[in-house]
Structure 1
Amino acid sequence: MTRSDTTFAQLITPHTRALPLLTLTDLRILETQASAALPAHTLMGRAGKAAASFLSEQITRDTSVARTRHKVWLIAGPGNNGGDALVMATELHKAGFAVELCMPIEVKPDDARWALNNARAAGIAISSTLPASLDEYTWLVDGMFGIGLTRPLEGVFASAARQLSQRTRTNKGGVLALDTPSGLDSDTGTIVGEEQSEGDAVRATHTITFIGAKPGLFTAQGRDLAGAVTVAPIGIDSSARTGVQLNAPDLFAAFLPSRDFATNKGSFGSLAVVGGDTGMCGAPILASRAALYTGAGKVHVALLGEGAPPYDPPHPELMLHAIDDLPLDTMDALAVGCGMGHRERATQVLHDVLSLDAPKLLDADALNLISKNPSLAAAVTARGVQGDPCVLTPHPLEAARLLGTDAPAVQRDRLAAARALAARFASVVVLKGSGTVIAAPDGRLAINPTGNAALATGGTGDVLGGIIGALLAQHLPRFEAALAGVYLHGLAADTLSAQGHGPAGLTAGELAPMVRTLLNQMFYPAPNR
Structure 2
Amino acid sequence: MPPDSNDSLPTALFTAAQVRAMDRHAIDRLGIPGLELMHRAGAAAFEALRRRWPEAKTLSVVCGPGNNGGDGYVIARLALAAGFDVRAYPVGPVERLRGDAAAAFAEYRNADGPLLNFIPPGFEGAEILVDALLGTGLDRDVADEYAAVIDAVNDFPGTVVAVDIPSGLNADTGAVMGNAVCADLTVSFIGLKQGLFTGAGPAHCGEIVFDDLDTPPEIRLGQAPSSRLLRSNDFALPPRRRDAHKGHYGHVLVIGGERGYSGAARMAGEAAARTGSGLVSIATRASHSPLLNLGRPELMVHGIESGRELEPLLQRASVLALGPGLGQSEWAKALFDAAIACGKPLVVDADALNLLAEHPLQCDRWVLTPHPGEAARLLGLSGADIQRDRFAAASALQRRYGGIAVLKGAGTLIAGPDGVPHVARWGNPGMASGGMGDVLTGVIAGLLAQHVPPFEAACLGVRLHGQAGDLAAAAGERGLLAGDVIEALRTCVNR
The interval holding the TM-score normalised by the smaller chain is: over 0.9
Q: Does 1:213 align with 2:192?
A: yes
Q: Quick one: which of 29, 45, 53 aligns to 2:47? A: 53
Tell me which residue corresponds to 1:280.
261
| Deviation per residue, 1:135-190 (Å, 9 max, x gap) | 520000000112111233334432221121122xxxx4210000111111111111
Tell me which residue corresponds to 2:481.
507
Residue 6 of structure 2 contacts residue 231 of structure 2 at CA under 8 Å; is this kept in 1?
no
SS at the partner of 1:57? helix
Aligned AA for 1:84?
D
CA–CA distance in structure 1, aligned partners of residues 8 and 466 of structure 2: 13
Tell me which residue corresponds to 1:260.
241
Q: Quick one: which of 93, 101, 118 aligns to 2:107? A: 118
Q: Does 1:22 align with 2:8?
A: no
CA–CA distance in structure 1, aligned partners of residues 325 and 244 of structure 2: 33
SS at the partner of 1:509? helix
Tell me which residue corresponds to 1:354.
340
5+ residue gaps, structure 2, are none
5+ residue gaps, structure 1, are 1-11, 193-198, 523-529
Residue 18 of structure 1 contacts residue 248 of structure 1 at CA under 8 Å; is this kept in 2?
no
CA–CA distance in structure 2, aligned partners of residues 372 and 156 of structure 1: 46
Residue 287 of structure 1 contacts residue 466 of structure 1 at CA under 8 Å; is this kept in 2?
yes
Tell me which residue corresponds to 2:234.
251
CA–CA distance in structure 2, aligned partners of residues 16 and 122 of structure 1: 35
CA–CA distance in structure 1, aligned partners of residues 377 and 8 of structure 2: 33
Residue 104 of structure 1 contacts residue 127 of structure 1 at CA under 8 Å; is this kept in 2?
no
Decide whether aligned partners of structure 1 residues 45 and 294 sit closer, same or farther in structure 2, where only a CA change above 3 A counts.
same
| Deviation per residue, 1:331-379 (Å, 9 max, x gap) | 2211101111212232222222223333210001111111112xxx22x
Q: Does 1:461 align with 2:437?
A: yes
CA–CA distance in structure 2, aligned partners of residues 17 and 178 of structure 1: 17
Decide whether aligned partners of structure 1 residues 259 and 17 sit closer, same or farther in structure 2, where only a CA change above 3 A counts.
farther
Tell me which residue corresponds to 1:149.
138
Aligned AA for 1:23?
T
CA–CA distance in structure 1, aligned partners of residues 230 and 334 of structure 2: 36
Give the deviation of 1:208 after TM superposition: 0.8
CA–CA distance in structure 2, aligned partners of residues 360 and 13 of structure 1: 31
Tell me which residue corresponds to 1:71.
58
Residue 262 of structure 2 contacts residue 292 of structure 2 at CA under 8 Å; is this kept in 1?
no
CA RMSD in angstroms comes to 1.9
Give the deviation of 1:307 after TM superposition: 3.0
Decide whether aligned partners of structure 1 residues 311 and 73 sit closer, same or farther in structure 2, where only a CA change above 3 A counts.
closer
Aligned positions of 1:78-477 closer than 5 A: 78-105=65-92, 106=94, 108-167=97-156, 172-192=157-177, 199-236=178-215, 237=217, 238=220, 241-253=224-236, 256-309=237-290, 312-323=293-304, 324=309, 326-373=312-359, 377-378=360-361, 381=362, 383-384=363-364, 388=365, 390-477=366-453
Give the deviation of 1:319 after TM superposition: 0.9
CA–CA distance in structure 2, aligned partners of residues 232 and 442 of structure 1: 28
Give the deviation of 1:505 after TM superposition: 1.1
SS at the partner of 1:249? coil
CA–CA distance in structure 2, aligned partners of residues 79 and 13 of structure 1: 32
Q: Does 1:519 align with 2:462?
A: no
Decide whether aligned partners of structure 1 residues 98 and 357 sit closer, same or farther in structure 2, where only a CA change above 3 A counts.
same
Residue 277 of structure 1 contacts residue 305 of structure 1 at CA under 8 Å; is this kept in 2?
no
Decide whether aligned partners of structure 1 residues 137 and 301 sit closer, same or farther in structure 2, where only a CA change above 3 A counts.
same
Decide whether aligned partners of structure 1 residues 113 and 225 sit closer, same or farther in structure 2, where only a CA change above 3 A counts.
same
CA–CA distance in structure 2, aligned partners of residues 95 and 49 of structure 1: 12
TM-score (norm 2): 0.92
CA–CA distance in structure 2, aligned partners of residues 416 and 151 of structure 1: 18
Percent identical pairs in the alignment equals 38
Aligned AA for 2:88?
L
Decide whether aligned partners of structure 1 residues 517 and 306 sit closer, same or farther in structure 2, where only a CA change above 3 A counts.
same
Residue 17 of structure 1 contacts residue 247 of structure 1 at CA under 8 Å; is this kept in 2?
no
Residue 276 of structure 1 contacts residue 305 of structure 1 at CA under 8 Å; is this kept in 2?
no
